[in-house]
Copies of this chain bind each other. A is one copy, B any other.
Amino acid sequence: MLDRIDINCDMGESFGAYKLGRDQELMNYISSANIACGWHAGDPTVMDQTVRLAKENGVAVGAHPGYPDLMGFGRRRMDLTLSEIENYILYQIGALHAFAKAYGLPLQHVKAHGALGNLAFVNLEVSKAIARAALRFSKELILVVYSGTIMVQAAKETAIPFVEEVYADRVYNPDGTLQSRKVVGSVIDDPDKAARQALTIIREGYVTAHDGSKVKVKPETLCVHGDTPGAVAILQRIRGELKKASISVKPMGQ
CB within 8 Å of B: which residues of A?
15-18, 20, 38, 41, 43-45, 47-48, 68-73, 75-80, 83-84, 87-88, 90-99, 101-102, 115, 136-138
For A18, the closest partner residue in chain B by CB is B18
Out of B20, B38, B47, name the residue touching A17 (CB < 8 Å). B20
- 5 interchain residue pairs of minimum CB distance: A94-B98, A18-B18, A44-B87, A17-B73, A102-B136
In Å, the complex CA distance between A77 and B48 comes to 23
Report yes or no: B47 in contact with A91, Cβ–Cβ below 8 A.
yes
Chain B residues near A90 (CB, 8 Å)? 44, 48, 98-99, 102
Chain B residues near A73 (CB, 8 Å)? 16-17
For A96, the closest partner residue in chain B by CB is B94
Q: How far apart are A195's CB and chain B's nearest CB, in angstroms?
A: 27
Chain B residues near A97 (CB, 8 Å)? 94, 97-98
Report yes or no: A16 in contact with B72, Cβ–Cβ below 8 A.
yes
For A94, the closest partner residue in chain B by CB is B98
Chain B residues near A101 (CB, 8 Å)? 94, 136-138
Report yes or no: A16 in contact with B79, Cβ–Cβ below 8 A.
no
Q: Do most interface residues of chain A lie in helix, strand or loop, or is the interface mixed?
A: helix
In Å, the complex CA distance between A142 and B83 comes to 31
In Å, the complex CA distance between A70 and B18 comes to 10
Ordered by A's residue number, 21 sampled pairs between the chains whose C-beta atoms are within 8 Å are A16-B73, A17-B75, A38-B91, A43-B71, A44-B87, A44-B90, A47-B87, A48-B87, A48-B90, A69-B69, A72-B78, A72-B80, A76-B78, A76-B80, A78-B79, A79-B115, A90-B98, A90-B102, A94-B94, A94-B96, A97-B97
Sample of 17 more A-B contacts, CB < 8 Å, known A45-B84, A98-B136: A15-B70, A16-B70, A16-B72, A16-B73, A17-B20, A44-B87, A48-B87, A69-B78, A70-B70, A76-B79, A76-B80, A78-B78, A94-B97, A94-B98, A97-B97, A102-B136, A102-B137
For A87, the closest partner residue in chain B by CB is B44
In Å, the complex CA distance between A137 and B99 comes to 8
Q: How far apart are A48's CB and chain B's nearest CB, in angstroms?
A: 5
For A80, the closest partner residue in chain B by CB is B76
Max chain B Cβ within 10 angstroms of own Cβ: one of A38, A71, A80: A71
Out of B16, B48, B77, name the residue touching A71 (CB < 8 Å). B16
Q: How far apart are A233's CB and chain B's nearest CB, in angstroms?
A: 22
Q: How far apart are A197's CB and chain B's nearest CB, in angstroms?
A: 26
